[in-house]
Structure 1
Amino acid sequence: MKGLKSIFLKNFIIYSLVVMLSFTALGGAFIYQISRYAAEERDSALNSAARRASSITTTYMQTAPNMIGSSFSLQTYNDMYRASIVNLAENLGGILFVCDSQGKLLFFATGEGCYTHEDVTQVSQDAVKAIQEDGRFSEMGSFSGLLTSPHYTLGIPASGEDGQMLGMVFASLSADSSLKLFINISSTFILMIFIVFLMVLVVTYVMVDSTVRPLKNIAAAARNFAHGDFSCRVAVPKRRDELYALTISFNHMADAIENMETQRRDLIANVSHDLRTPMTTIGGFIDGILDGTIKPEKQEYYLKIISEEIRRLSRLANSMVEVSRLESGERALNKTTFDISEMVRRIVLGFEKQLTDKEIDLTLDIPDKLEISADHDAIFQVVYNLTDNAVKFTDRAGKIIIYLSAKGGKMQMNIVNTGPGIGPEAIDHIFERFYKGDRSRGSKVTSSGLGLYIVKTLVGRHGGDIYAKSGDGQTEFCFTIPTSL
């Protein structure tokens, strides 16, 4: 739909950003810790090499003057001292500078040997001042031009036991090695992040798509419903989660909507038929009376037919009004205590003419008195509708039996009639609104399809239950309600 942002795209972008920011934060923290560890290791190596060089230099400067005139050659002692400095420089992997107490460069040593600098013979005054005042000097640079590339340099004094500064020692490590370590670690980590990020994106894409796809299917089905196609259903996801429950609920709703639409169409067809037939009959007979087609001696007969058709229309209208009141909740239950046995006897008396005309044998198996607390008018309508249904569908010379009992705080009534049964395809639908099972019972009797729906609704509002069964030439309706509402 135009202007509607995709849930899939929105969720995918959000998840991707969260993953990317998480990995960025993790990578930054990791690189920071590695860099910090490398810096600590570098400072530790510089400090260790400088202190050992300072100790050796202090010893050398204190003892060298005493070697003059001794049997031990001063040159040999000097070579030994320089060899020790070279060995320290080799272990450090850097450069050691040895200066006098004023900062004059005496020599510098690498892992390959000792050398003197032809152009620079003095370290910076800043370095000398820092060591003289603070006892320590550190920088990252070219160290007074003595180095051609950036180095980390640490300088400390070479002092005797009396605290007199005899000289200075500086240890330097190339910054390139630290930079290379940082670049190697960073590039490796970035490559790992990139690979993992791609994997996460793929997984996120699949997860988001599997989440959004059912929603898209539901939206597509809803659009079909809006266009009048109620046959669409959504494929149920394999994983049993909230989307599974949503899809199941949506399909149940779709079934209900389709069923309601079918009932609506059936209602329109049935009501149209039920209205058209009597109205045609009434109109035809009235026209016949008015134009003289129907003779005066026959008018009373046809006026009775018209009266019956009008009563039929009235029953249809009343049923529809009753359904509307029940579904809207306008009809509230009015609890009273009454004798249901007496109610059954009075209802049966009202059907005396129909029973006599069809020679129906009716048996009442009811107690003399059974009081219940319920809505009198509602229960009257339930019993009346079921009795009328039984009389209507019982064949001539058939039988009707009405049972009534109370047990365990519940009242039970069974109404059994002989005659054409209810087909198995109809038995599960007879209590549905607007369902008409007349054809399944092989009868020419017509109905609005609302009577049994009203019965089930009223019984249900009393907290009761109703069922029907049919077979072996007889049909039975049974309902139960609590004896006290």
Structure 2
Amino acid sequence: MFTKKNEKITLLKYWTTRYLATLCIGLLVIGILSVLWIRHSTLQHRLDIAKFLAEETADRFVSNIGGEPTPREKGGKILRDHDKTLGLEKPFIYIVNNDGDILSSSIPMRDDDRMSFRFPPSILQSKKEIQKVHASNDDIFYAVKAPIKSNNVQLGSVILLMAEKDLVKVNEEYRLLGIMLVSLALLGWLAIYLLTRRLSRPIQDVAKAAKQVQEGNYDIQLHHEVKEKEVHELVSSFKEMTSRLETLESLRAELLAGVTHELKTPVTSISGLLQAVKDDIVEGEEAKEFLAISLKEVGRMQKMVADLLEFNSFSANALPVTLESHDINSVVKEIVYQWQVTQEDEEIKIDLHLQDQSQQVMVDTTRLQQIFINLLNNAKQAMEEEKRIDITIHPLVQGEIAIDVRDRGIGIPEAEQAYVFERFFRGEGKKFKVRGLGLGLAFSKMIAKAMNGDLFLKETSTEGTTFTIIISATNAPQ
């Protein structure tokens, strides 16, 4: 079966296979270095023992003969006592005189062979106690030499001749090293497998839950309590996101019904009024009044449609924002004045607190006026008894200007505060009292952000609500 080129692999398979490959490569390198170190240390250790054995044999040799060369029979017994001291299968120990003639050896030799063989002068005359010798068949031997002396006179030498392949042969150590490396590889793979499976399980559940959300099912259950901070935050954030999406989806359905109702109501009213005029149910002044009411409803419906079109256009960046430098005190005073002269309710009082030293800001005055109109209209609708609005301008440390708009209304319920800037959202207090689409605050926040500022709910209580507009300043106070 062929694997698709772009087919994704699971997190468990991805991490375990790559970790195992990395672990095996690392252990292989460690194994090679360990083998080289074992060979080197074993060779040095056995050569040191061979040197000690040669010296000890030379001392016993002199002790047994009283300073004269030992006959082969006695010397052979001494050598056979040490033939396995190194732990090697065939250690070759020779007693030679100063001319290189073999007097005795650890292995039986015929007299003809012993008399005909002579150690080369390069081994006998060298001052090195340990020498590396290359044989004719490319084998490598080590010759360990210890002089046989009596009264400071060298009578001969003890020579240990050992093959390098025998000196470095440590099969048991290699076997233990292999078992250890294989065990480490299996334990490492098992550990990463178990840890990755534990880590990937909540991620897989989140991925499955995301598919459910994609299909429109927001009722998901994630029960994993994980100790890892990042995974815990992922699961918790996803839970919060789905909970909020579920809330917004229910709000969307409810608000869509509300918007439909808001648009349907004036159409029904207009239809009934015009039908009454057409059927001559009303005549004269009453008919004119019916027509005036119809025109008023048409105007309200046109405004709602215009708000929808403008909001959509602004969302698509189709309506540009032109930022220019203006005096903040003058701009706010003019906007507040224009709003006041259009209000029929003269009982509303606005307390305007301007800066002592005015400051230049970068704004689009038309768009800023839209924000103020939305905030002032909302403040007017929220107030029932004390109809007073406070507008305060004050600088911020970040080189920005803040404008607080505070009403004396009943405040926004805590359950609704998180949704005041959602599109089409209208609180329970306004849903059946105030006609509208619930786009004012959402639109105002978009405008503020387009002017490199912001709009947020600063505080709200039963004593009133304060919204804050943030605007970028252009220079220091004059």
Same fold (TM over 0.5): yes
Provide the rounded CA distance (Å) in 2 between the counterparts of 1:324 and 1:15.
52
Distance 1:139-1:423 versus aligned 2 partners, 3 A rule: closer
Q: Is the 8 A contact 1:275 1:313 kept in 2?
A: yes
Q: 1:345 corresponds to which residue?
A: 337
Q: 1:318 corresponds to which residue?
A: 306
Q: 2:175 corresponds to which residue?
A: 187
Q: 2:128 corresponds to which residue?
A: none
Q: 1:96 corresponds to which residue?
A: 93
Amino acid aligned to 1:346: Q
Provide the rounded CA distance (Å) in 2 between the counterparts of 1:468 and 1:381.
22
Distance 1:417-1:138 versus aligned 2 partners, 3 A rule: closer
1:448 pairs with one of 437, 459, 468:
437
Distance 1:306-1:123 versus aligned 2 partners, 3 A rule: farther
Counterpart check, 1:431 vs 2:417: no
Q: Is the 8 A contact 2:132 2:141 kept in 1?
A: no
SS across alignment from 2:170:
helix
Q: Deviations over 1:227-247 (max 9, x none)?
A: 112344755742224x45555
- Structure-to-structure mapping, 1:40-55, within 5 angstroms: 40-46=44-50
Q: Deviations over 1:445-472 (max 9, x none)?
A: 2321111323344456445654453426
How many pairs were matched up? 442
Q: Is the 8 A contact 2:143 2:162 kept in 1?
A: no
Counterpart check, 1:14 vs 2:18: yes
Q: Deviations over 1:152-197 (max 9, x none)?
A: 785989999xxxxx99976456999768x61211222223233333
Q: Which moved more, 1:11-20 or 1:248-257?
A: 248-257
Amino acid aligned to 2:21: L
Q: 2:376 corresponds to which residue?
A: 387
Q: 1:377 corresponds to which residue?
A: 366
- Structure-to-structure mapping, 1:181-260, within 5 angstroms: 182-232=170-220, 235=224, 237-241=226-230, 243-244=231-232, 246-247=234-235, 250-251=238-239, 253-254=241-242, 257-258=245-246, 260=248
Q: Is the 8 A contact 2:375 2:405 kept in 1?
A: no
Provide the rounded CA distance (Å) in 1 between the counterparts of 2:353 and 2:58.
121
Provide the rounded CA distance (Å) in 2 between the counterparts of 1:197 and 1:452.
62
Distance 1:455-1:425 versus aligned 2 partners, 3 A rule: same
Q: Is the 8 A contact 1:285 1:306 kept in 2?
A: yes
Q: 1:277 corresponds to which residue?
A: 265
Give me the TM-score of the superposition, normalised by structure 2.
Answer: 0.71
SS across alignment from 2:387:
strand
How far residue 332 of structure 1 moved from its aligned partner, in angstroms, is 1.7
Distance 1:124-1:36 versus aligned 2 partners, 3 A rule: farther
**Structure with the greater relative contact order (CA < 8 A, sep ≥ 6): 1 or 2?**
2
- Structure-to-structure mapping, 1:80-229, within 5 angstroms: 81=75, 84-86=78-80, 89=83, 94-97=91-94, 108-109=105-106, 116-117=108-109, 122=113, 128=117, 131=120, 154=143, 171=160, 182-229=170-217
Amino acid aligned to 1:309: E
Q: Is the 8 A contact 1:382 1:455 kept in 2?
A: yes
Provide the rounded CA distance (Å) in 2 between the counterparts of 1:459 and 1:392.
22
Structure 2, unmatched stretches of 5+, are 125-130, 150-154
Q: Is the 8 A contact 2:379 2:389 kept in 1?
A: no
How far residue 5 of structure 1 moved from its aligned partner, in angstroms, is 1.3
Q: Is the 8 A contact 1:55 1:158 kept in 2?
A: no
Structure 1, unmatched stretches of 5+, are 66-75, 111-115, 143-149, 161-165
Q: 2:389 corresponds to which residue?
A: 402
SS across alignment from 1:207:
helix
Amino acid aligned to 2:351: D
Counterpart check, 1:306 vs 2:298: no
Provide the rounded CA distance (Å) in 1 between the counterparts of 2:372 and 2:455.
14
Cα RMSD for the two superposed structures:
4.9
Counterpart check, 1:334 vs 2:318: no
Distance 1:294-1:182 versus aligned 2 partners, 3 A rule: farther
Amino acid aligned to 2:340: V
SS across alignment from 2:120:
helix
Whose radius of gyration is greater, 1 or 2?
1
Distance 1:134-1:366 versus aligned 2 partners, 3 A rule: closer
SS across alignment from 1:343:
helix
Counterpart check, 1:471 vs 2:475: no
Distance 1:274-1:28 versus aligned 2 partners, 3 A rule: same
1:30 pairs with one of 22, 30, 34:
34
Give me the TM-score of the superposition, normalised by structure 1.
Answer: 0.70
